[in-house]
Structure 1
Amino acid sequence: MNKPKLSTPSPRPFAMRKAAAAIVITALLLTACGKAAPAGTAQDTASKPEQNAHAGHGAAPAPKEADVKAAFTFSPDKPQAGKDTLISLQVTDSANKPVEKFDINHEKTMHLIIVSKDLSYFNHIHPDYKEKGLFTIANPFPAGGDYKLFADFVPSGESGTTKSQWTTIQGDAAKPAAIQPDGNLTKTVDGKEISLAFDKLQAGKEVNLTFNIKDGGTKKPITNLQQYLGAVGHVVILSEDAEQYLHVHPTEEKATGPDAKFMTTFPKSGIYKIWGQFQHEGKVFTVPFVVKVP
């Protein structure tokens, strides 16, 4: 009697079982990866850019407001109008240790903007860096009253930081000037005729600001503007209550006129004062405009 043939198992079912197992393992892995990462992991560390013109400087994320502090002090303790006041700023970290290294930002280690409460007085100066996070500069305040100081600086390797403080100056106060929107956005300053134009003025949306600069007498376009702090110009914008602050740099830094273009976003509706600063033939001139943002 012939013995029955023993059949060898086909390799195909084994391969199919192996492939099925691989699919199950892959599915489990994908399910695990799809779960939301807990707060504090690498997937949850993105920080929002600061609402000012310095957002985006460098590759480091913007520092949290509490990470850097700036303590303003004045000498004398009760500054007098018309006399030099020594302004000191001590910059420290969250552990109250001095921040010792700063990046150069538009040719300076720190930009200090000083405005009066009614925004009629404006000064853009640059404190000297001493050491161990200390900056100092002397400034004569023109009249008694309240002033706000804005310090712009960049701790080394971090994003731009702005710190501010109100201070009161002793002495006779100047008559308050009303902050009224300009009906005509053309001004003459230091023999220059400057016009300001917007593409679309609206809160919360990017807006292009274009300053057109001509000779005030001949009306010829000025095409030889000089670099001011490493750019064709600088723009500072404040809301009428001095709570919304923007320090804006040009979109074409090496431009020479007659147009100087800037881009920014007004954070909310309201009245804002704009100061444009430019340099021509060795002299810096400042032109102010007041606008109402819908």
Structure 2
Amino acid sequence: MKKGILLGASFFVAAGLFISGCGNMQDANQHGQHNNSGHGAHGTEHRSDSSGKAGDTKVHAAWAFSDSKPRAGQPQQLTIQINGHDGKPVQDFEINHEKKMHLIIVSQDLSYFHHIHPEFKGNGKFQITTQFPHGGKYKLIADLIPKGGTQTTQTTWVDVEGTPAKSADLKPDQTMVQTVDGKEIKLSFDKEIKPGQEVMLNFQIKDAKTKQPVTDLQPYLGAVGHVVILSADTENYLHVHPMDEKATGPDARFHTTFPRGGIYKIWGEFQHQGKVFTVSYVVNVSGS
């Protein structure tokens, strides 16, 4: 990954699992907005929040795991059933950066982040097998575009049994330089980040040992990289695509607008020499 608007919709899911009876998950479906101002030179951005605007119920998601109570460290098959406002399954979805669904999983304290892609089985159904590293609360964010519709985000929380990880404090980073998988990645902004104002994020990637610029980044899901941003309370979600999708480094630039002040976590995902690596930063957006 966050953003729980409770719409209270429950749907029948394969294998006789009914979400409202599971007890371990609650529907928190919400409709995201596609920010068209981000096209062209500015890349694209998908945002959603908990504003509960009219028209947010065009699609609904029902979520079910193969076990009614998922447990940490144990593989679970997750089924996500997408139905329209009429209760009928959505029959097809647009391809968005090579996938019909992007699924973001984050722990409540945002210390855990996982970006995966459930397989579309037809008749509105997506499935994937995954597992959680520790017990505790996790938020699941499904990012998708119904065929002929607009980009939408569906979310839910899940309680995972097992020993919880030590809770991590979400504090703004003192330095915007991180080292991951032998890469040194510096995040910079073209101006002070304030709510409601567009800002450019630039990830500059070097070899951690030689300090030489990395100029041969490989496409990841059809672009030089992807950025996911979540507010500390998980209410605001931004999925940002690069200004230049065909860039190969050392710079990867993205434009976004933080909807309100507060603490946010930023994850950048890139691919080099056949391996995807993820780098994260915590920032404070000043203002209200």
Give TM class, smaller chain: 0.7 to 0.9
Equivalent pair of 1:87/1:136 in contact (CA under 8 Å)? yes
Q: CA deviation at 1:283?
A: 0.3
Cα shift readout 1:87-144 (whole Å, capped 9, x = no counterpart): 1100000110000111100000100000000100000000011110000111110000
Distance (Å, rounded) in 1 between the aligned partners of 2:185 and 2:82: 37
Q: Which residue of 251, 257, 260 maps to 1:259?
A: 251
Q: Which residue of 35, 60, 67 maps to 2:58?
A: 67
Q: Which residue of 227, 230, 233 maps to 2:225?
A: 233
Cα shift readout 1:131-164 (whole Å, capped 9, x = no counterpart): 1000011111000000000000110111111111
For residue 54 of structure 1, give the secondary structure of its aligned residue in structure 2. Answer: strand
Which structure has more relative contact order (CA 8 Å, sep 6+)? It is: 2
Opposite residue 183 of structure 1, the aligned amino acid is Q
Q: Which residue of 175, 179, 182 maps to 1:188?
A: 179
Q: Which residue of 228, 249, 262 maps to 2:241?
A: 249
For residue 130 of structure 1, give the secondary structure of its aligned residue in structure 2. Answer: strand
Q: Which residue of 20, 45, 57 maps to 1:53?
A: 45
Q: Which residue of 94, 103, 108 maps to 1:103?
A: 94
Equivalent pair of 1:54/1:159 in contact (CA under 8 Å)? no
Q: CA deviation at 1:50?
A: 4.3
Stretches of structure 2 that go unaligned for 5 or more consecutive residues are 1-31, 36-43, 48-53
Distance (Å, rounded) in 2 between the aligned partners of 1:226 and 1:194: 16
Q: CA deviation at 1:72?
A: 1.1
Higher helix proportion, which one?
1
- How many positions carry a matched residue from both structures? 241
Distance 1:213 1:207, change over 3 A: same
Q: Which residue of 111, 114, 119 maps to 2:105?
A: 114
Distance (Å, rounded) in 1 between the aligned partners of 2:150 and 2:172: 33
Distance (Å, rounded) in 1 between the aligned partners of 2:189 and 2:211: 21
The residue that corresponds to 2:214 in the other structure is 222
Distance (Å, rounded) in 2 between the aligned partners of 1:193 and 1:156: 40
Distance (Å, rounded) in 2 between the aligned partners of 1:49 and 1:91: 18
Distance (Å, rounded) in 2 between the aligned partners of 1:237 and 1:103: 23
The residue that corresponds to 1:197 in the other structure is 188
Aligned pair 1:145/2:136, yes or no?
A: yes
For residue 276 of structure 1, give the secondary structure of its aligned residue in structure 2. Answer: strand
Matches within 5 A, 1:10-89: 49-50=33-34, 53-54=45-46, 64-89=55-80
Equivalent pair of 2:33/2:152 in contact (CA under 8 Å)? no
Opposite residue 281 of structure 1, the aligned amino acid is Q
The residue that corresponds to 1:20 in the other structure is none
Distance (Å, rounded) in 2 between the aligned partners of 1:155 and 1:276: 26
For residue 283 of structure 2, give the secondary structure of its aligned residue in structure 1. Answer: strand
Distance (Å, rounded) in 2 between the aligned partners of 1:243 and 1:139: 24
TM-score with structure 2 setting the length: 0.81
| Runs of 4 or more above 3 Å deviation | 48-52
Matches within 5 A, 1:159-170: 159-170=150-161
Give the greater-gyration-radius structure (CA): 1
Q: CA deviation at 1:54?
A: 3.0
**Percent same amino acid among aligned pairs?**
57
The residue that corresponds to 1:132 in the other structure is 123
The alignment yields a C-alpha RMSD, in angstroms, of: 1.6
Opposite residue 120 of structure 1, the aligned amino acid is S
TM-score with structure 1 setting the length: 0.80
Opposite residue 141 of structure 2, the aligned amino acid is F
For residue 65 of structure 1, give the secondary structure of its aligned residue in structure 2. Answer: coil
Opposite residue 163 of structure 1, the aligned amino acid is Q
For residue 66 of structure 1, give the secondary structure of its aligned residue in structure 2. Answer: coil
The residue that corresponds to 1:39 in the other structure is none
The residue that corresponds to 2:285 in the other structure is 293
Q: CA deviation at 1:209?
A: 0.3
Higher strand proportion, which one?
2
